[in-house]
Amino acid sequence: MNIAIMCSGGDAAGMNPAIKSFVDNCLHKDIIPYFIYDGFEGLIDGNIKKAFFEDVVGITHLGGTIIRTSRSSRFYEPKQREMAYENLKKNDIKKIIILAGDGSFKGLDIFCKEYDISFIGIPTTIDNDIYGTDYCLGVDTSLNVIKNALDDIRDTSSSFQRAFVVEVMGRECGYLALVTALTSGAEICIIPEIDFDLDSIEKRLQKEIDNGRGYILAVVAEGTNQTNNIKTWLEENLKKDVRTLVLGHVQRGGNPSVFDRLMGTSFVTQSIDKLILEEHLNSIITYKNSQFDFVDIKTITHNVYTIKPDLLKLVEHLTK
């Protein structure tokens, strides 16, 4: 049996531990592992190579992905997907593990319905916004990167008695902002999922300033598009000296956390075992309520992820 692994969409710490686990598990079980380099672009271009132990030695601690990733508009074209299939056929590959988000899952699902290919998707995105799973590979490392940045910013913020507005990633999902605001002791958290009340926040913070507060830390999710507005509001209404920081793509990189390394290994191991047992399978492995499960692709792509109400409740006091 030949099985290939690929990455698609945004990179995330935890991909390399998953890739190493893939090769180690396959070779241990007499399966021939293949790498598809450069995501769907590499699939179309035939950048597919057999993988060996030496390819994955010493990669567990590395961020990013050694087989690289991409976003591909070409894969939407039927002719390009036909080329991709021919490239798989040349290598006798009928089963794929993909580390990606739901957009890539949808693309591969279309492909596998057209051709005799099976796949399992491993939810991999720092945004942690895939329906049906509590955890996506890479989010834990990203949370720690943001946490470290916020801790450092608080040091300089308190020294100068300034306000800092820090924008974090997450697209339309406020998970990263919510968790890091809570765990870093921020004074303000602005996320798409909760309406914020600046009048209430002003009353709360002004009272604290009158009682000795010198600095303020605001965490803003990029999907709100409120970073500049919050900066201006802090300057004009609370008369603070304000700095803004957009953390940007630094949140994608870094040394994978212990949890992301462990989960990358667990996701891949269970996915390989499932592909061995099932003749034809197009599904996503999920981690919910501390349990692994395999969910039909339609369940994942036809529903929208929402943050758990209990988490939202924890951050409400920072929004008003």
Per-residue pLDDT 10s for the chain (320 aa) are 999 999 999 999 999 999 999 999 999 999 999 999 999 999 999 999 999 999 999 999 999 999 999 999 999 999 999 999 999 999 999 999 999 999 999 999 999 999 999 999 999 999 999 999 999 999 999 999 999 999 999 999 999 999 999 999 999 999 999 999 999 999 999 999 999 999 999 999 999 999 999 999 999 999 999 999 999 999 999 999 999 999 999 999 999 999 999 999 999 999 999 999 888 889 999 999 999 999 999 999 999 999 999 999 999 999 99
Name the CATH topology of 139-253.
Answer: Rossmann fold (3.40.50)
List the CATH code of the domain at 2-138+256-303: 3.40.50.450
127 labelled catalytic: yes
Residue with tokens 């592909």: 275
State CA 205 to chain mean position distance: 33
Tell me which residue of 272, 294, 253, 267 sits closest to 17, measured CA to CA: 267
Q: What are phi and psi of 216, to 5 degrees?
A: -140, 135
Domain ranges of the chain: 2-138+256-303, 139-253
Which listed residue (11, 38, 127, 140) is catalytic? 127
Strand extents, DSSP E, the chain: 2-7, 32-36, 48-50, 95-100, 118-123, 163-168, 188-190, 216-221, 242-246, 282-288, 291-296
Q: Do domains 2-138+256-303 and 139-253 have the same CATH topology?
A: yes
